Structure 1
């Protein structure tokens, strides 16, 4: 569409060819079918400096061929639209995390304690702190399965896999902390969370006589730092 004052007025009045185009284009835009099928090229502005556009097209992106200083840039946009060669192509979606695979959903033992804690927090119940501590203790218990042993050439891959496998638990913790920040930002709850971090930091260091390397606890260092940063952000 080449838009100027006359075209915009005829389009709004459904007069002449512009009116016919308005009926066709507006129906397509409102039904959300192929939003890139039409584009407005503006050639005139009103006294307030606003582009003359049909009412149904206002608020949408248009190509401005009025400003001589930007004419070349805008004309390039028009050519790219015509030949479907956008300057900034939409990147392809990356590989989804394993836990989002609907064929094998991850079932966490923390799910029920989390729901109990969140429900108590939202409802303002007296047991909110107790249920929250129970949930966080289950998280601490689950961390034992992420302890890495040995070394070898592929130990770095084990670390990355361990961090990736913890993501469902991390997402639960984000939900928990959001609800605490929203509904229960109390001193008593702060003490519960403080005790959780005291238990969490233990995993960053050796706890028995088993052999270990300097990097044996890198997964826990990443996990604990990430949880701490999330808590501060909320």
Structure 2
């Protein structure tokens, strides 16, 4: 039987009520069906009947009693609400010698450091949530208890409660919860970080997978599909942000070689998103544009974050990796691809941008409009795109189209290339690009500048000054 719990608490203050709600949401994210008045007691319901039913209901596996000072006082004095609820609970406690259904959650301590508990629960062993630190420290204990799982087993994910399906898209609270657990594991150097990571990545991918097209759209017009791209991209943006937060943590706490392998697997999993699900028998390629744009965007954000964190060798690991694409309707066999496979284009999204202005690369404009993070600005995305292009120029088997170069400005110079004026800055750039020397790289890019090839026509108005953009004349000229 899957865990289904009831939370009993006092409306002590708005702060306490909000904390209880957050705990409920976090439990839901960990696969536990939570019954709580905030969500389940509606206008016109009988409060007493609601309380009594849920406390004695055999389908309720556990009752969490949020014990703070106000709860203890109201229970002891049998004041309405909590008083009525506590009487029902106390009857259960006193009439059953062996009981494990009622779990005190110790939210508050007195001046002597002792937890506030109602008299009828004074002999029960509780779980200490008296501070945020204690809550995080003891969270796994509570989750494992509610799932009835041994300590060495990961809790089983339960079904998502139906009352959360209020919008077209599922809530991202579960991936957020899994990320919070992973963050605490990394910060506290817990054992089993790989399991926390897997839990988070699987949860995030499950959410993304739920947005894949599995039935023919209501309309296949460009206007309809463009609107769907916008809506689906908006729904996926919280996951994009979680991925960014995750990578920032991993770069700081995880060994670079291990992280390179993790990222390879991560990118390979994302490549499943724009492939054809088994449910579809016919399709159009642009039905999956939202997923393709998401992968492209996440890849650029990850390169931008690696630049900001100085993880240049890790960037080279990504640039030189090959990613296994699973067999699907688009490709009848498994094959390996380079990072240029993450690039995508879409004419469909143009119909959601403007009726008057025609963009040379509508996807770049769309990503620009969605660039709403403070730690990764659109300028950082332009720089990441330029670095990908620079690397592709040094490898004839990789073709990366510099879609964002038109936003840089003809006379602009990217910071990573500007800092490469100094030798130490160039050595970082060298680590990322894998070039032999500034002279060798300069010669390669000068060839592109001289040929003024089509890759330079990113905005349809003419070529770009690679000499200026990449600071070619000044690379590695200062100590």
Q: Which has a greater percent of helix?
A: 1
Q: Same fold (TM over 0.5)?
A: no
Range into which the TM-score falls when normalised by the shorter chain: 0.3 to 0.5
TM-score (norm 2): 0.20
Higher relative contact order (CA 8 A, sep 6+): 1
Larger Rg: 1
Q: TM-score, normalised by structure 1?
A: 0.36
